[in-house]
Amino acid sequence: QVQLVESGGGYVQAGGSLRLSCAASGLTFSSYAMGWFRHAPGKEREFVAAISRWGSSTYSEDSVKGRFTISRDNAKNTVYLQMNSLKPEDTAIYYCAADRMLPGANPSLYDYWGQGTQVTVSS
């Protein structure tokens, strides 16, 4: 079956960096656009960033532009989220997702989801 497994979360002080990874299996990775979403307590699930099948196009939410970068390595079936200049407001569970069509911010477009990885940013 299709599996998406996130890793790389943890605790970091404000201003620090983390790199999240999402390893995919059970699907032809290069046939899927990939996205990152996050969910913090008391808030709705929020789009973070997305990337097209071959990485030619990327999109990100305004609050993370200039700080977060999404990338992918199709040879490794892995998508990454490099997070720099982290803020306490970035604290959330981060999820990766796979979409057989185009990348986008609407979670309804995505076909598969990982279980998430916790990111906690302290002040």
pLDDT of residue 101: 85
**Predicted pLDDT at 103:** 87
Q: What is the pLDDT of residues 46-96, one digit of tens each?
A: 999 999 999 999 999 999 999 999 999 999 999 999 999 999 999 999 999
Strands 18-25 and 3-7: antiparallel
Give me the DSSP letters along 62-86.
GGGTTTEEEEEEGGGTEEEEEE-S-
Mean pLDDT (the chain) is 97
Residue 31 in this model has a pLDDT that exceeds 90? yes
In the numeric block, which tokens belong to residue 13?
A: 């002080």
